Chain A
């Protein structure tokens, strides 16, 4: 989630993400939509790919990009992280409480 956050902190990358949300596009096609160089677009795509926000498909010498479209999976992943972190804190808090109780019972 943190990598995704960093990736979309850059406005241009958000724009690229929107562009490949509904259609798979090549890096060249994407570059034509922006006034930036091809290498700059490739760099953005690399960051998006590493953050798991777009997938890359190679077709001969061309590379096709597309956003991961699964909103549901994003929601599920979000909730999984949410509850995992919550339950970790619950575990710590409840175990601390238990130790406190047991110490109290001994004295």
Chain B
């Protein structure tokens, strides 16, 4: 049964949680091995899962997420920095932090993904084009261009 991930949002970070009917040993490589990562995100991935190693994923043709691994603790946690290469949404490569924690729960694993160090109101306000930029991206998508990441085009990459 598919279940919606729980929603917890606090301040300038995003925390998502999902329970997966699989062991942490099965789930973990989906964050560190390109072939497995691409089964749920992206069309191309370059991963060097060790502290300081590269994390670069073509989420779609034009959207490239880039950062580096910070923590790699097999089957327990993995953390990496994250941003967009073309600096959309005021989020340049490596700007934000993603921490993934795997917690065993019986035969299942609870995956908690925390996306923090997101830009605050002040830093966005200092970029007067912030909102307009975001709007422009939406417009491109609406006009039939590559809409970028999956949320705008459910059902995978284009």
State yes or no: do A and B come from one complex: yes
| Alpha-carbon distance A9/B7, docked complex (angstroms) | 29
Over the window 123-158 of chain B, the binary record of Cβ atoms lying under 8 Å from chain A Cβ atoms (1 yes, 0 no) is: 010000011101100110111000101111010000
Over the window 98-109 of chain B, the binary record of Cβ atoms lying under 8 Å from chain A Cβ atoms (1 yes, 0 no) is: 000000000001
Over the window 64-102 of chain A, the binary record of Cβ atoms lying under 8 Å from chain B Cβ atoms (1 yes, 0 no) is: 000001011011101111111111111111110110010
Task: Judge whether B61 is part of the interface by a CB distance below 8 angstroms.
Answer: no
Interface size class of chain B, counting residues whose CB lies under 8 Å from the partner chain: 35 or more
Task: Judge whether B75 is part of the interface by a CB distance below 8 angstroms.
Answer: no
Task: Judge whether B47 is part of the interface by a CB distance below 8 angstroms.
Answer: no
Task: Judge whether A40 is part of the interface by a CB distance below 8 angstroms.
Answer: no
| A2-18 with Cβ < 8 A to chain B | 2, 4-6, 8-9, 14, 17-18
Task: Judge whether A49 is part of the interface by a CB distance below 8 angstroms.
Answer: no
Task: Judge whether A25 is part of the interface by a CB distance below 8 angstroms.
Answer: no
Taking a contact as CB atoms closer than 8 A, the residue among A2, A8, A75, A80 that contacts B89 in the complex is: A75
| Alpha-carbon distance A74/B131, docked complex (angstroms) | 9
Name the prevailing secondary structure of the B interface residues: mixed
Name the prevailing secondary structure of the A interface residues: helix
| Alpha-carbon distance A9/B134, docked complex (angstroms) | 14
Task: Judge whether A36 is part of the interface by a CB distance below 8 angstroms.
Answer: no
> Could you tell me if A80 and B14 are in contact, using CB atoms closer than 8 angstroms?
yes
**Quick one: given A21-B131, A75-B89, are A80 and B9 in contact (CB under 8 Å)?**
yes
Task: Judge whether B115 is part of the interface by a CB distance below 8 angstroms.
Answer: yes
**Quick one: given A8-B139, A82-B149, A90-B20, are A76 and B121 in contact (CB under 8 Å)?**
no
> Could you tell me if A89 and B9 are in contact, using CB atoms closer than 8 angstroms?
no
- Of B21-29, B48-56, B66-74, the one with at least 4 CB within 8 A of chain A: B21-29
A-B contact pairs, 14 of them (CB 8 A): A4-B138, A5-B138, A6-B142, A9-B142, A74-B134, A76-B9, A76-B118, A80-B7, A81-B151, A85-B150, A85-B151, A90-B41, A92-B40, A93-B39
Q: A18-B132, A75-B89 are in contact. List 13 more A-B contacts (CB 8 A).
A: A4-B138, A6-B142, A71-B134, A74-B134, A76-B118, A80-B9, A84-B7, A86-B40, A86-B41, A91-B18, A94-B22, A94-B26, A94-B109
